[in-house]
Amino acid sequence: MSSASTATAGVVETDPWLVVENVTVEFPGVRALDGVNFSARAGEVHALMGENGAGKSTLLKVLSGVNRVTDGALWVGGERHVFSNAREALRLGIAIIYQELTLSPNLSVAENLLLGQLPQHYGIVDRKRLRERALAILEELGEGSVHPATKVRDLSIGQQQMIEIGRALLRDARIIAFDEPTSSLSVQETRQLKRIVKRLRDEGRVVLYVTHRMEEVFEMCDAVTVFRDGRHICTHDTMAGLTQDQLVSEMVGRDIEDVYGYRARDTGEVILKVDALEGHGLKAPVSFEVRRGEVFGFFGLVGAGRSELMRLICGVERPKGGEIHFNGRTGRFNSPGDAIRAGIAMCPEDRKSQGIFPVASVTDNLNISCRRFFKRMGLWRHPKRELENTRDYIDKLRIRTPGPRTRISTLSGGNQQKVILARWLSEQIELFVMDEPTRGIDVGARRDIYNLLYDLADQGKAVVVISSDLTEVSAICDRIGVMRNGALVDIVDRSAATPERLLGLALPA
Ligand SMILES: Nc1ncnc2c1ncn2[C@@H]1O[C@H](COP(=O)(O)OP(=O)(O)OP(=O)(O)O)[C@@H](O)[C@H]1O
Ligand SMILES: [Mg+2]
């Protein structure tokens, strides 16, 4: 980490090291950034916040030379540069850790670390030295146990992210930007990431940090800039005196009194009864019931078995024992399709890799599985009803897209998530299982999603929510099952479900 020598550790410089001047980025039908001015100092962690589609990722892609600007300039260390290409960005010491990781899964850790960074002006590449350097970096990142020859596809998401950070360090990046880094990390991986971010800051680098998680902003960041609709709304140079409510209203442009907006309701008959279920990922038989009208939460640390349990129930995996009674029928489902026909569906956690057709339109992605309800005389597709359904959800979930026919891959990360969520919500389903429904989704839209879940429950359907967000489960669910190490350890009523209680149950004894 040689660039540390150029700055005094822990001292925030008053002159900004990075200045983005009047930047505009246009895509067909969208102005993703509109005359944005922004600056960040060395030795600070600067949060970038804003709703889905506000332009955060676009700004990072501008810095890294991936996105072309229509207008604007870039200053690094007091010198003016034109935005040009990825190589120029590297030369300026800018590295981005993207929302979607960019490693090559089939190459080794060492190859990924060193890819593209073999010094080009040397006649001969000193592989031995580079390899040693890679090892040293792995050690520094707390990944000393990862063998450099391991294929990247065999690493966890968190480890992959560490390799990305390692690449940035090998390049001596002075400006390191993270795009929602913790959205798919475990609790332990998140802790490790936070330590590294802090160190990067103390070494005098500029750290830009995009996140939708408020607690991270208040815990880790020294300054925050808010974007809305491609515009710079405000920058707070210090977090002192700033409240969460103020940030939220700056982000969404309106006051949201209570993001969770819980509504009490009466529950009906038992719709799902799981009796001594056993199978992959469970270390003890699991029993519980869910009633119509209920929002039932599952909390636990990553790896506690929540998703595995739901996969057993929803026909993705075969149970090894126990019984499932659902809506008057007894028996297991042989496939997810079988379960959907019976009226129970699971919206997977990894919605993007498991569910997106990147070259297809928003409306095709949204209606693909509920098409059968929209058939004309049971035969032909019904484009008009599909469009109506799409417009309905664009409206309800505030999906930011130029139109229903826009290719989904051009939407921002969070807006793609909303489309896939809408696909599941348009199914004619009696019990929805939602795995991390608000991951990557901004605060304003979270509220819309919670409202939709309450609406489903009001209609007498049932909702099971798997969430790692403690505040979320305790705020939106009627009852919460807590899982730990492959077992259901307790079911807690809403009135008793304080975050402390839930966490106490979920943590290893
Ligand atoms: N390659 C592209 N082609 C067309 N439009 C794009 C492209 N990339 C981004 N956009 C549009 O630019 C706008 C800003 O997107 P961006 O990805 O920067 O949002 P974001 O703030 O990162 O949101 P999120 O929180 O959902 O990740 C969105 O309306 C998006 O649809
Ligand atoms: Mg983004």
378-424 pLDDT, tens per residue? 666 778 889 999 999 999 988 999 999 999 999 988 898 889 888 88
Q: Categorise residue 93: left if φ over 0, alpha if ψ from -120 to 50, beta otherwise.
A: left
Taking CA atoms, 80 is separated from 25, 61, 76, 134, 495, in Å, by 19, 18, 7, 32, 58
Predicted pLDDT of residue 392? 94
Predicted pLDDT of residue 4? 35
CB of 410 shorter than 6 A to ligand 1: yes
Predicted pLDDT of residue 492? 97
Contact 187, 302 (CB under 8 A): yes
For residue 32, pLDDT over 70 is answered with yes
Question: Which residues is 326 bridged to in the sheet?
Answer: 272, 329
Residues with Cβ within 8 Å of 130's Cβ and at least 6 positions away in sequence, in order, are 114, 117, 118
- Helices (H) and strands (E) in the chain — how many of each? 17, 20
- Answer with the residue of higher pLDDT: 110 or 483: 483
CB of 53 shorter than 6 A to ligand 1: yes
230-260 core/surface letters (b: 16 or more CB in 10 A; e: else): bbbeeebeebeeeeeeebbbbbbeeebeebe
Report which listed range, 231-235, 297-301, 350-354, 497-501, is most confident: 231-235
Question: Which residues is 95 bridged to in the sheet?
Answer: 176
DSSP structure string for 308-339: HHHHHHTTSS--SEEEEEETTEES--SSHHHH
CB of 54 shorter than 6 A to ligand 1: yes
**Band of the pLDDT at 354, cuts 50, 70, 90?**
low
CA of 157 to the centre of ligand 1 (A): 23
For residue 25, pLDDT over 70 is answered with yes
Distance CA 239, CA 426 (A): 41
Average pLDDT, the chain: 87
- Average pLDDT of the segment spanning 212-235: 94
Predicted pLDDT of residue 352? 59
Q: Which of 97, 71, 69, 94 is nearest to 84 (CA)?
A: 69
CB of 32 shorter than 6 A to ligand 1: yes
- Average pLDDT of the segment spanning 307-314: 92
Lowest mean per-residue pLDDT among 92-101, 152-161, 292-301, 374-383: 374-383
Distance CA 39, CA 141 (A): 28
For residue 34, pLDDT over 90 is answered with yes
Contact 501, 484 (CB under 8 A): no
Distance CA 47, CA 39 (A): 12
Predicted pLDDT of residue 125? 61
Mutate to test the pocket of ligand 1, among 25, 33, 34, 58 (most ligand atoms within 8 A of CB): 58
For residue 11, pLDDT over 60 is answered with no
How much of the chain, in percent, has pLDDT values that exceed 70? 91
For residue 120, pLDDT over 60 is answered with no
CATH 3.40.50.300-classified regions of the chain: 256-343+429-509
Cβ-based neighbour number of residue 442 at 10 Å:
26
Burial of residue 59, with CB atoms counted within 10 A of its CB: 0-12 exposed, 13-18 middle, 19 or more buried: buried
| Ligand 1 closest atom vs CA 415 | 26
Distance CA 364, CA 387 (A): 9
**Band of the pLDDT at 297, cuts 50, 70, 90?**
very high
For ligand 1, atom 18, name the residue with the nearest CA.
Answer: 55
Taking CA atoms, 380 is separated from 283, 371, 383, 427, 465, in Å, by 47, 10, 9, 18, 34
| C-alpha R_g of the chain | 24
CA of 130 to the centre of ligand 1 (A): 36
Predicted pLDDT of residue 349? 72
- Average pLDDT of the segment spanning 124-132: 70
Q: Which of 181, 180, 139 is nearest to 160 (CA)?
A: 181
For ligand 1, atom 4, name the residue with the nearest CA.
Answer: 410
End-to-end CA distance of the chain: 39
For residue 202, pLDDT over 70 is answered with yes
CATH number of 256-343+429-509: 3.40.50.300
| Ligand 1 closest atom vs CA 99 | 27
